[in-house]
Amino acid sequence: MLFIDTDPGVDDALAILMAHAHGSVAGLGIAAGNVGLARTTANALKLLELIDAPTPVFPGAPQPLVRPADDAAFVHGADGFGDTGYLPACRRAQSEHAALALLRLSHEHAGALTVVALAPLTNLALALSLDPTLPDRVRRLVIMGGAVTGQGNTSVAAEFNIGFDPEAAHIVCSRWGAFDLVDWELCLRHALPFERVEQWLAQGDARAAFYAAISRKMRVFSRAQRRSGLVVADALAMAVALQPDLVIEAQVRPLAIELDGALTRGATLVDWAQRSGRPPVARIVGAVDQHGFEHCVAAALGVAAP
């Protein structure tokens, strides 16, 4: 059973489709991040309506814990979904806060819940602050975040989900205990080849058509950046959450979040040589079975026999 904390977001959308195609989803916690909370919530509702999934949507924190941060509208569009002008969903979000919903669901599914964090960690930090025993009831936490070799995407050193709310990331990474980390550089190494994505978008069902529309600007942006393919960070994290055996290589290391650096605020500092004496809590995924990952994505877009 999954609880997904997310800020949809084009790659979040793909991850949410994968979760509903291949797993059971207890709820979506919504964070501000890629764009503001009202938009990320509306996007989640639209996507769930598209696939006719009854999954409840719980809006959470409208801003980072301490300092304001810039969104990622320049990549995801001003509405977070590629500015397609879609008709809003008819359904409504729940009134329960995402942090409270996560705590409740962790009791209802004690020992069986996998939390997949695809957004700034604000909601998780709030939940953990309210109830430090939360990790005891969660089977697994998979975080998409961090730039473990210092090649950030929101600043030189920081990856977006961590850089948007470093204090929240600090709370989660220092208090949760063990978690899996799908970092930005891993996502760059596991980009989806552009031509294959175009094939899937042409061959898939209504999910592919919707994803084709919302990802159009991002695909143009990615080609202009001369990337090796379409980087779908949250989809990779979701594949790791859904199919742990896709992980080919991982290293468990201590990890800390830089909060104060003039140039490095939001950096994920990995103690690769294990000099700090801190507990090794982050299982940093180093390689994933690319074929299996692509299969998982294509099937979630409705591609027959991918």
Would you tell me which residues interact with ligand BDR (CB under 6 A)? Answer: 9, 11-12, 34, 72, 118, 144, 153, 159-161, 184, 233-234
The candidate with the shortest Cα–Cα distance to 249, out of 197, 294, 177, 183, is 183
Which residues ranging from 145 to 174 are in contact with Ca ion (CB under 5 A)?
Answer: none
77 part of the interface to Ca ion, by CB under 5 A: no
What gap in Å lies between CA 18 and CA 4, rounded to an integer?
A: 12
118 to each of 85, 153, 263, 278, how far by Cα in Å? 24, 15, 24, 25
CB 288 within 8 A of CB 239: yes
Residue with Cβ nearer ligand BDR (72 or 230): 72
In the bound state with ligand BDR, the residue whose beta carbon lies nearer, of 161 and 264, is 161
CB of 158 to ligand BDR, least distance (A): 9
- Helix or strand (DSSP H, E) at 161: helix 160-164
Enumerate helices (H) and strands (E) in the chain, giving the number of each: 13, 10
Q: Which is nearer to ligand BDR, 109 or 230 (CB)?
A: 230
State the nearest-atom distance from the C-beta of 70 to ligand BDR, in Å.
Answer: 11
* Interaction partner, residue 60 (Ca ion, ligand BDR, none; CB < 5-8 Å by kind): none
Which residue in the block uniquely carries the two structure tokens 């202009």?
224
**153, interface contact from Ca ion, ligand BDR, none, CB < 5-8 Å by kind:** ligand BDR
Residue 9 binds Ca ion, judged by CB under 5 A:
yes
- Please give the residues from 264 up to 283 whose contact with Ca ion meets the rule CB under 5 A: none
Q: How far apart are CA 76 and CA 10, in angstroms?
A: 6
The closest residue (CB) to ligand BDR is 160
Q: How far is the CB of 24 from Ca ion (least distance, A)?
A: 21
**Alpha-carbon dihedral 42, 44, 47, 53, rounded to 10 degrees:** -120
Is the sign of the CA dihedral 32, 19, 23, 115 positive or negative? negative
Nearest one of 4, 140, 138, 122 to 60, comparing CA atoms: 122
User: Measured from the CB of residue 3, what is the shortest distance to ligand BDR in angstroms?
Assistant: 16
Nearer to Ca ion, 100 or 238 (CB): 238
Smallest gap from Cβ 108 to ligand BDR, in A, equals: 26
Q: Which is nearer to ligand BDR, 7 or 294 (CB)?
A: 7
CB of 103 to ligand BDR, least distance (A): 23
How many CB atoms within 10 Å of residue 84? 15
**From candidates 118, 124, 267, 282, binder to Ca ion by CB under 5 A:** 118
Interacting residues toward Ca ion by CB under 5 A: 7, 9, 12, 118-119, 234
